[in-house]
Structure 1
């Protein structure tokens, strides 16, 4: 049986992983947008 403290750590770690992967996707999208802008000019 996991304690509440351990459960909270697991939740925090999962949230951190989700946030970091979303952040990476956001950076990639911004780079793609910059490339598209450059292509139009």
Structure 2
């Protein structure tokens, strides 16, 4: 890979014990709701 396409979000910084931040599925849905297209 020569370039990284963005925008990007570093999901690990949002991990928490409370939904939706307590599972990968929850984080993916949260990011999708914000308009991100890929994880």
Q: TM-score, normalised on structure 1?
A: 0.34
Higher relative contact order (CA 8 A, sep 6+): 2
Which structure has the highest helix share of the two?
Answer: 1
Larger Rg: 1
